[in-house]
Amino acid sequence: MKELKEKIFQAQSEGDIASLYVLESQAHETFDEDTLMAYYANILDLALERLTNALENLEKLDMTEVQDFATLRALYEYAIEHYSAGSATDASALFEVLGGISNDEAFSAAMKVHRAGCDSRISFDDFIDEYVDMAATQNGGKFYISFFKKEIE
């Protein structure tokens, strides 16, 4: 456990979100629920810092750059947490920012569909059931919901 904590501390001090995701399965095997929550909170803090820097510098996050990819993943997971918890307004705002900050057209298009679901007040479960092609999404190899059965009006 000491070695894992040292690796995590090193990654955190370097702002290396990607390495924290690499260590994620070990963290799940080793840490209790409270420690895991703190682990994910650290990932989110780093992602929010990177987002703030990108916005201040008027930069887009590049999906092909590992730290930007990990940042988008962390922020997407945060937005999904909001959506699934019923905070559609907060989730919508996050999806809007994600769609605008990424240089990846497919990701940005998917965030528009997510946002439309939130703005239409469709519950997360109904969004998944009615609009998401889960089989294609699960086989698509992406960290985000990327295949849809139909467009949201």
Report how far apart, in Å, the C-alpha atoms of 38 and of each of 20, 34, 75, 78, 130 are. Answer: 12, 6, 16, 14, 34
Asked whether the beta carbons of 17 and 47 are under 8 A apart, the reply is yes
Give pLDDT, residue 150.
74
Asked whether the beta carbons of 118 and 92 are under 8 A apart, the reply is yes
Burial of 77 (0-12, 13-18, 19+ CB in 10 A): middle
Tens digits of residue pLDDT in 43-78: 999 999 999 999 999 999 999 999 999 999 999 999
Domain boundaries, the chain: 2-139
* Measured distance CA(128)–CA(26) in Å, rounded: 29
Give pLDDT, residue 139.
87
Which residues of the chain are modeled with pLDDT < 70? 151-153
Q: What is the model's pTM?
A: 0.92
